[in-house]
Chains A and B, each alone.
Chain A
């Protein structure tokens, strides 16, 4: 058993009882990384010296009895699209392979203030574009449950590291499902908060109207603690929400009697029958705990993927124009003039999926096509959001699978971008509506983890955490570990 199988509170009890030190916890992370990351390939950059120094500082705090942060002593891995001062941040792109940030992202700073210890930076699809981590320009991360399969993406490193015991918890980012889908594939908890709940300052922008940072953990309670530490308004992100942060930890009452659950019929159509059966079994558990569920319709679900790829790619094409080889990043050699320098630096620095999305987005925004594609997609986004608004008038949460299948084999979808995009069919509508959702392990299909997606009203993370927590304490799935 790994130390990281303990719940946060159990770890804190052991720290206070002096049965454990922060140095032990950090040692556990690096031992696990040394033993198995060559196979998993979750990390891109490690900061062992920094982590051990931080651990020594925190151990002193333990002795002196100073006030301790909410996430005291916990080893954390950060997705490599959040900037970390002095620690290389690449977005898994060759373009940023030499980039050393000069400041911390707000979420990273908040983790430090909460006394967690940064272990290193985690692999992802390049610039968060993809659902398998095969678009990393450095290495594909592998699924700890089956090394021949993908961990999902784009936060694949974040999910695999938690599943493999290589970090106590991690941060990921979710634009169209990039926290929830890998959490589902790797059998861990992944939470995408409401858009605006967590500051995006220092998160390298992919699609600014959708991007959101959130935790990946082994259990729901820990996710509540991490969200508590990172949520809140930030004047450095003008799109962060000035809405009071709830007490997520005390929301975990275990009581879901009378909870009204909507199950969209569209979320159960065309999915793997074993995934469907697993989700229906989870609904029976929730029912036995006093919740009631009814089938509903979210009629615009089938349009979400098309709208999303137009909107996200359009925003990406604009956001990624900052990578010009002038101020930071890898500059192409021997460019004759400034225009060549832009063209050559970008062409050499970006991988195929990033180029494809920049091309799609540039086309969708270009003169003559704007109304047909971008504006149309924004209007469809309104219809999708209305589906959610109307459902939440009568129900507390919406529940379905997180992904239509379990993790697929590496290499099986790389040549077919459209098929790859359709893996996100159940997470994308939620992102377009901007509401919070989490994926919690709900069983296995042919030995591979299945995730249950619990979706809530805007800024009502408390209810989805409470629901997932009640489910989790009555089931054992989240306690199973891959054999590594």
Chain B
């Protein structure tokens, strides 16, 4: 499998990144070389091997459904780039 600049453009859109022409070319080359190296994994037969999502044997972690203290909203907005009336403000979602 080898990836093209078009694939890189598609993935960049999924990742919400704008890439310059130069970045597109560099990433195409570098991702191809990394993915080519990753092909190495196909030397191993993993048909009957279970996937490890996590090393600890965890099942769902539950807690009592009780109200606890949460962060005060004035603190939450301290780092907000823009806010108004207790809400994060962003530009228009629809044109």
Interface of A toward B, CB cutoff 8 Å: 98-100, 102-103, 195-196, 209, 235, 238-239, 241, 300, 302-303, 305-307, 309-310, 317, 321, 324-331, 335-344, 346-347, 350, 352, 355-356, 358-360, 362-363, 366, 372-373, 375-383, 385, 417-418, 421, 432-434, 458
Task: Tell me the bound Cα distance from A238 to B61 in angstroms.
Answer: 6
Please tell me if the beta carbons of B38 and A239 are within 8 angstroms of each other in the complex.
no
Task: Tell me the bound Cα distance from A421 to B88 in angstroms.
Answer: 39
Q: Which residues of chain B come closer than 8 Å to A102, judged between CB atoms? A: 71, 75-76, 78-79
Q: Is B55 an interface residue (CB 8 A)?
A: yes
Q: Which residues of chain A come closer than 8 Å to B14, judged between CB atoms? A: 362, 366
B55 CB → nearest A CB, Å: 3
A sample of 30 cross-chain residue pairs with beta-carbon separation below 8 angstroms, ordered by A number, consists of: A102-B78, A103-B71, A241-B56, A305-B37, A306-B37, A306-B40, A307-B41, A309-B34, A310-B38, A326-B88, A328-B81, A331-B82, A337-B93, A340-B91, A342-B16, A359-B17, A360-B35, A363-B31, A366-B11, A373-B35, A376-B42, A377-B38, A377-B41, A378-B51, A380-B41, A380-B44, A382-B46, A382-B50, A383-B46, A458-B55
- DSSP majority for the A interface? helix
Our pick among B18, B40, B92 for the contact of A338 (Cβ within 8 Å) is B92
Please tell me if the beta carbons of A381 and B52 are within 8 angstroms of each other in the complex.
yes
- For B81-93 the 0/1 string (1 means CB < 8 A from A) is 1100000101111
B36 CB → nearest A CB, Å: 9
Task: Tell me the bound Cα distance from A287 to B38 in angstroms.
Answer: 39
Please tell me if the beta carbons of A362 and B52 are within 8 angstroms of each other in the complex.
no
Task: Tell me the bound Cα distance from A365 to B90 in angstroms.
Answer: 29
Residue of B nearest to A377 (CB): B41
Please tell me if the beta carbons of B8 and A379 are within 8 angstroms of each other in the complex.
no
Task: Tell me the bound Cα distance from A76 to B23 in angstroms.
Answer: 39
Q: Which residues of chain B come closer than 8 Å to A331, judged between CB atoms? A: 81-82
Please tell me if the beta carbons of A376 and B46 are within 8 angstroms of each other in the complex.
yes
Please tell me if the beta carbons of B17 and A379 are within 8 angstroms of each other in the complex.
no
Q: Which residues of chain B come closer than 8 Å to A363, judged between CB atoms? A: 3, 7, 11, 31, 35
Please tell me if the beta carbons of B34 and A375 are within 8 angstroms of each other in the complex.
no
Task: Tell me the bound Cα distance from A292 to B15 in angstroms.
Answer: 51
Our pick among B33, B53, B55, B90 for the contact of A326 (Cβ within 8 Å) is B90
Please tell me if the beta carbons of B51 and A382 are within 8 angstroms of each other in the complex.
yes
Please tell me if the beta carbons of B56 and A359 are within 8 angstroms of each other in the complex.
no
Residue of B nearest to A336 (CB): B91
Q: Is B80 an interface residue (CB 8 A)?
A: yes
Q: Which residues of chain B come closer than 8 Å to A209, judged between CB atoms? A: 53-55
Please tell me if the beta carbons of B38 and A100 are within 8 angstroms of each other in the complex.
no
Task: Tell me the bound Cα distance from A327 to B90 in angstroms.
Answer: 10
Please tell me if the beta carbons of A379 and B18 are within 8 angstroms of each other in the complex.
no
Interface of B toward A, CB cutoff 8 Å: 1, 3, 7-8, 11-12, 14-19, 23, 27, 30-31, 33-35, 37-38, 40-44, 46, 49-56, 58, 61, 63, 71, 75-76, 78-82, 88, 90-95
Our pick among A195, A339, A417 for the contact of B34 (Cβ within 8 Å) is A417
Task: Tell me the bound Cα distance from A387 to B47 in angstroms.
Answer: 18
| A317 and B15 in contact, given A103-B71, A195-B56, A380-B46 (Cβ under 8 angstroms) | yes
Our pick among B23, B38, B49, B91 for the contact of A379 (Cβ within 8 Å) is B49
Please tell me if the beta carbons of B38 and A328 are within 8 angstroms of each other in the complex.
no
B28 CB → nearest A CB, Å: 10
Q: Which residues of chain A come closer than 8 Å to B58, judged between CB atoms? A: 238-239
Q: Which residues of chain A come closer than 8 Å to B91, judged between CB atoms? A: 335-338, 340-341
Please tell me if the beta carbons of B79 and A100 are within 8 angstroms of each other in the complex.
yes
Task: Tell me the bound Cα distance from A342 to B12 in angstroms.
Answer: 12
Please tell me if the beta carbons of A434 and B34 are within 8 angstroms of each other in the complex.
no
Apart from A196-B55, A303-B40, A359-B15, list 15 A-B contacts with CB within 8 A: A98-B79, A195-B55, A302-B40, A324-B16, A328-B81, A347-B18, A358-B15, A373-B35, A376-B41, A377-B41, A381-B51, A382-B52, A383-B46, A433-B55, A434-B55
| A362 and B11 in contact, given A99-B79, A327-B88, A379-B50 (Cβ under 8 angstroms) | yes
B68 CB → nearest A CB, Å: 10
Q: Which residues of chain B come closer than 8 Å to A379, judged between CB atoms? A: 46, 49-52
What 4 pairs across the A-B complex have the smallest Cβ distances?
A434-B55, A328-B79, A378-B51, A331-B81
Our pick among B12, B53, B82 for the contact of A378 (Cβ within 8 Å) is B53
Task: Tell me the bound Cα distance from A14 to B76 in angstroms.
Answer: 43
